[in-house]
């Protein structure tokens, strides 16, 4: 399966979704890799830092995209492709190969205009490829209680796209996962045991389970248990520290 993550507009969480989806699939014992087709190479750097055991590939020419995605799809259960912003030749090549397309989209008017702009391109590819790639809009920086989010959902459906029930709200922790001045990039579920880490981790878990339910059939609570185990591990470490302090 080839999964494209794309948007005509940058700064919408494409890379966050691509990196965490690739890791999530591997957590569920799928053999998955990440293809970074953005010239900045942010997603491959992020994943190489967070989990260097997951294969990453930098491919940023349209011709190589077509060749290599075909090759990689025979080697992996899933190939996640982080597309560059915009609708250039590279994104077009990804659309020509992808089985599924996820479009993270914010609720602002500019985001909706970008989605509107991309519609004809996506639908034309689907017409030529008998409905592929199957496409879903992911509302990001979103809150279903707010008018802007409800407007985004209505607009996306009006354009003929499916919309995930799970949304990705704005949270500072998502930005922190990409790295800070004194800390390299990490996956959300590597950031400790706080409530906000668990909350954000389970939000992405819910999203990915909705879109790819077949990937987590054997253990749908995998991420929840991973975060809980981290909490228990942290408590054990704290208890050990207290014992050491008492005996010193």
Specify the pLDDT at position 246.
52
Nearest CA to 111 among 135, 85, 81?
85
Q: What six digits make up the tokens of 196?
A: 């906000």
Using the CB atoms, write b or e for 211-245: b if 16+ within 10 Å: bbeebbeeeeebbeeebeebeeeeeeeeeeeeeee
Q: Whole-angstrom Cα distance, residue 46 to residue 219?
A: 26
Q: What angle do CA 239, 243, 248 make, to 5 degrees?
A: 150
Q: Whole-angstrom Cα distance, residue 223 to residue 216?
A: 10
Q: pLDDT tens, 58-89?
A: 999 999 999 999 999 999 999 999 999 888 99
Specify the pLDDT at position 192.
78
Q: What H or E segment, with its residue span, contains residue 81?
A: strand 78-82
Which residue spans within 143-240 are E strands per DSSP? Answer: 162-163
Q: pLDDT tens, 18-61?
A: 999 999 999 999 999 999 999 899 999 999 999 999 999 999 99
Which domains are assigned to the chain?
Answer: 2-247 (3.40.50.300)
Residue with tokens 């919408």: 12
21: Cβ contacts below 8 Å, ≥ 6 apart: 3, 5, 80, 102, 208
Q: Whole-angstrom Cα distance, residue 25 to residue 19?
A: 10
Q: Whole-angstrom Cα distance, residue 220 to residue 206?
A: 10
Q: pLDDT tens, 124-177?
A: 999 999 999 999 999 999 999 999 999 999 999 999 999 999 999 999 999 999
Chain length of the chain: 248
Specify the pLDDT at position 158.
96
Specify the pLDDT at position 225.
85
Q: pLDDT tens, 183-194?
A: 899 999 998 778
Specify the pLDDT at position 241.
40
Q: Label residue 235 left, alpha or beta by phi (over 0 means left) and psi (-120 to 50 means alpha).
A: alpha
pTM (2 d.p.): 0.90
DSSP three-state, residue 6: coil
Q: pLDDT tens, 188-233?
A: 999 877 889 999 999 999 999 999 999 999 899 999 988 886 555 5
Q: What six digits make up the tokens of 191?
A: 């950031």
- What mean pLDDT do residues 3-27 have? 94
């Amino acid at each position: 399966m080839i999964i494209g993550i794309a948007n005509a507009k940058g700064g919408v969480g494409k890379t966050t979704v691509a990196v965490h989806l690739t890791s999530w699939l591997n957590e569920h014992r799928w053999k998955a890799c990440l293809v970074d087709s953005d010239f900045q190479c942010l997603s491959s750097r992020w994943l190489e830092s967070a989990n260097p055991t997951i294969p990453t590939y930098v491919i940023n020419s349209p011709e190589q995209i077509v060749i290599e995605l075909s090759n990689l799809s025979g080697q992996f259960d899933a190939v996640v492709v982080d597309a560059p912003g915009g609708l250039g030749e590279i994104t077009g090549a990804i659309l020509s190969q992808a089985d599924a397309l996820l479009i993270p989209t914010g609720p602002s008017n500019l985001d909706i205009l970008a989605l509107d702009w991309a519609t004809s391109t996506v639908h034309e590819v689907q017409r030529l490829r008998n409905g592929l790639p199957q496409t879903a809009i992911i509302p990001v920086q979103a809150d279903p209680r707010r008018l802007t989010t409800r407007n985004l959902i209505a607009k996306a459906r009006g354009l003929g796209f499916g919309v995930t029930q799970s949304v990705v709200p704005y949270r500072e922790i998502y930005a922190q996962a990409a790295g800070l001045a004194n800390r390299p990039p990490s996956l959300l579920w590597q950031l400790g045991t706080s409530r906000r880490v668990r909350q954000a981790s389970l939000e992405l878990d819910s999203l990915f389970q909705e879109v790819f339910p077949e990937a987590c059939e054997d253990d749908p609570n995998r991420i929840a248990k991973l975060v809980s185990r981290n909490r228990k591990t942290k408590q054990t470490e704290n208890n050990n520290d207290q014992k050491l302090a008492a005996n010193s």
